[in-house]
Amino acid sequence: MTSHLATRLREGTQRSHTATENTAFMKCFLKGIVEVVPFKKLLANLYLVYSTLEAELKDHSEHPIVGKIYFPEINRQSSLEQDLAFYYGDDWRSQIVPLKAGQVYVDRLLEISNTDPVLLIAHSYTRYMGDLSGGQALKHIIRSALDLPCDRGTTFYEFDQIPTIEAKKEFKEKYRHALDSLILDEATILRIVEEANYAFTLNRNVVDELEADVRAVVDPHVFALLTKQDRVGSTTHHHHGQAVPA
């Protein structure tokens, strides 16, 4: 018997996904308004989130359930380290500071790793499926907006072990199959879906905290025009995609 967890997660997080796409930060981002200061702060906080998530997933790699969705080939920590060195310089470690929302995000990962590690599946799903889907479009927006050198500044979005569109599609199918193969009771499925929605909230809180940095450099009238109209969520049309801002 399969859990159908991939479908339950996709359907159960559509509203949260749409709400994330409709933050002011993401509306500007998707229109090509990418400013270096808030973007590098975002990368810094993503580094703290991913380094924590990946350490905890590794710690539970022998767990009978969590271990089945541990795929170190998609880890993002080292990629983010390269991007942070590009944006901050070689001494980036001494410069990055967690946002309040970023620290809450990290603390939540540590909490569930200690108390209910199965919930790490929710965070793995929301982050990595987003990176492999909508994140690939964000890469092109960033490269264009910041006029980056061809091999720098968006390493976070590069998956060396799954480099092609076809390979990414195959991996996402593999990942969804791994989710569906988990033997879970209904109560556990509901807790994972609830945690995935909370993962979207944690992510939204990070980008909301960066909104002031965007406002500071965008003309107020332009900002109002860019942010006044809500977007239709991408998962409404692309059933297997996630587009978590990253």
The per-residue pLDDT of the chain, averaged, comes to 92
- Give the pTM: 0.92
Whether 246 maps to a domain, the answer reads no
Q: Give the pLDDT mean for 128-142.
A: 92
Q: Give the pLDDT mean for 14-35.
A: 93
pLDDT range class, residue 243, cuts 50, 70, 90 = very low
Instruction: Please check the confidence at residue 170 and state whether its pLDDT lies above 70.
Output: yes
pLDDT tens figures, 85-100: 999 999 999 999 999 9
Q: Where are the alpha helices (DSSP H) in 60-185?
A: 77-88, 100-115, 120-132, 134-146, 165-181
Domain CATH number, residue 182: 1.20.910.10
Whether 216 maps to a domain, the answer reads yes
Domain count, the chain: 1
Which tokens sit at 86? 């590009």
Whether 245 maps to a domain, the answer reads no
pLDDT tens figures, 47-78: 999 999 999 999 999 999 999 999 999 999 99
Instruction: Please check the confidence at residue 237 and state whether its pLDDT lies above 60.
Output: no
Which residue's structure tokens are 């509306």?
27
Contact predicate 150/38, CB 8 Å? no
Percentage of the chain beyond pLDDT 90 is: 85
Q: Give the pLDDT mean for 143-166.
A: 94
Half-sphere exposure of 218 toward its Cβ, with a 13 Å CA cutoff?
A: 26
Whether 211 maps to a domain, the answer reads yes
Percentage of the chain beyond pLDDT 70 is: 93
Whether 244 maps to a domain, the answer reads no
> What region, left, alpha or beta, does residue 135 occupy, with left being phi > 0 and alpha being psi -120 to 50 degrees?
alpha
Q: Which domain holds residue 94?
A: 5-236
Q: For residue 90, what pLDDT is reported?
A: 97
Whether 175 maps to a domain, the answer reads yes
Instruction: Please check the confidence at residue 242 and state whether its pLDDT lies above 90.
Output: no
Q: Give the pLDDT mean for 202-230.
A: 92
Angle in degrees, 0-180, between the axes of helices 186-209 and 36-59, rounded to the nearest 10: 150
Q: For residue 52, what pLDDT is reported?
A: 98
